[in-house]
């Protein structure tokens, strides 16, 4: 009798595989897996078998409680910029009013993240939301509005 794979069963298998550091199971309905919480995610590739790894920067030190290990990677803001660019691209292919709402929310997310960063670093943050994805960022910390006074 074939074993029925429930969502819970599949989730437990995925968790076990993540702990063992390999991936063999890919089930529909679980398009993203956490490899290193907060830092590395395996995204499902359409039209392909291999995972698409998304890696966020991981740093250690007093400003990064709980982090063990470090490696280079991207930021949430840069991923949001990619999503904005992609949304503009697909909207140019086939326009849909929903894309306007998506773009507004993605820009709001960048704005909130940058406002948070500015507050933590004692800077004021006064930039418009519209077009925020195109504003220049600091070469060191990659935040909008920092003029190199970081670190
Ligand atoms: Zn900076």
**Tens-place pLDDT, residues 91-101:** 999 999 999 99
| 44 and 83 part of one domain | no
| 12 and 63 part of one domain | yes
| 42 and 91 part of one domain | no
Question: Please, are residues 33 and 41 in contact by the beta-carbon 8 Å criterion?
Answer: yes
Q: How far apart are the first and last CA of the chain?
A: 61
| 82 and 66 part of one domain | no
78 CA to centre of ligand 1 in angstroms: 15
Token pair in block for residue 49: 């078998």
| 127 and 94 part of one domain | yes
| 56 and 32 part of one domain | yes
147 CA to centre of ligand 1 in angstroms: 6
- φ and ψ of 32, to 5 deg: -135, 135
Plot region of 142 (φ>0 → left; ψ -120 to 50 → alpha; else → beta): left
Q: How many domains does the chain have?
A: 2
Residues of the chain with pLDDT under 50: 1-2, 4, 7-8, 10-11, 22-26
Q: Which domain holds residue 62?
A: 1-73
Bridge partners of residue 142, in order along the sequence: none
**Tens-place pLDDT, residues 26-55:** 456 677 889 999 999 999 888 887 889 999
Answer yes or no: is 64 within a domain: yes
Domain boundary among 22, 47, 73: 73
């Amino acid at each position: 009798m074939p074993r029925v794979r429930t969502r819970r069963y599949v989730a437990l298998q995925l968790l076990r595989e993540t702990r063992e550091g390999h991936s063999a199971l890919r089930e529909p309905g679980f398009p993203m897996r956490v490899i290193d919480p907060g830092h590395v995610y395996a995204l499902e590739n359409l039209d392909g078998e291999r995972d698409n790894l998304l890696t966020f920067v991981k740093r250690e030190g007093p400003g990064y409680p709980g982090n063990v290990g470090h490696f280079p990677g991207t930021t949430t803001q840069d991923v949001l910029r990619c999503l904005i660019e992609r949304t503009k691209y697909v909207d140019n292919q086939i326009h849909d009013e929903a894309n306007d709402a998506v773009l507004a929310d993605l820009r709001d997310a960048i704005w909130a993240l940058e406002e948070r960063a500015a507050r933590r670093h004692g800077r004021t943050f006064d930039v418009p939301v519209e077009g925020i994805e195109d504003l220049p960022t600091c070469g060191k910390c990659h935040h909008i509005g920092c003029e190199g006074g970081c670190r």
